[in-house]
Amino acid sequence: MADDPAAKKTDTTTGAAARRRRRAAAAARRGLRAWRVRPGRGGRGLRGAAAAVRRSPGSATALWRVRTTVRDEPGTLARICGALAAGGVDILTLQTHPLGDRTVDEFLLRTSDAVEPRELARLLREAGGADTWVERADAHDLVDSPTRVLHLATRAALDTAELPLALRALLGRCAIRSVPGDTPAEGALEGTLLRLPDPAGGEIVVERHHVPFTPTEFARAHALVELDARLGRRTPGERHALTLPGGRAVTIRRADEGDLEAATAMHARCSEQTLTQRYHGPVKGADRYLRHLLSPRFGRTLAVESPAGELVALGHLLWDGDETEAALLVEDAWQRRGIGAALLRRLTDMAREARCESVYAVTRSSNTGMVAAMRGLGLPLDYQIEEGTLVVTAALAPAAVAPR
pLDDT at position 271:
92
Helices (H), ranges, 159-242 = 162-171, 215-231
- C-alpha distances out from residue 187 to 63, 73, 219, 231, Å: 33, 31, 10, 19
Q: Residues near 218 by Cβ (< 8 Å), separated by ≥ 6?
A: 187, 189, 194
Q: What is the predicted pLDDT for the residue at 362?
A: 92
- Cα–Cα distance, 402 to 361 (Å, whole number): 32
Q: Which pLDDT does position 307 carry in this prediction? A: 93
Per-residue pLDDT of the chain (404 residues), as tens digits, is: 444 444 433 343 344 444 444 454 444 334 333 333 333 333 344 445 555 555 555 568 889 989 899 998 898 889 999 989 888 899 988 888 888 888 888 898 998 888 888 888 888 988 899 888 888 887 777 777 788 888 888 888 888 888 888 888 888 778 888 888 888 888 999 988 999 998 888 889 999 877 888 898 899 999 999 999 999 888 888 899 999 887 889 999 999 989 999 999 999 999 988 988 888 766 777 787 888 899 888 889 999 999 999 999 999 999 876 678 999 999 999 999 999 999 999 999 988 888 788 999 998 888 888 999 999 999 999 999 887 789 999 998 643 333 33
**Can you tell me the distance from the alpha carbon of 136 to that of 241, in angstroms, rounded to the nearest whole number?**
39
Gap between the Cα atoms of 205 and 68, Å rounded:
24
pTM of the predicted structure, to 2 decimals? 0.66
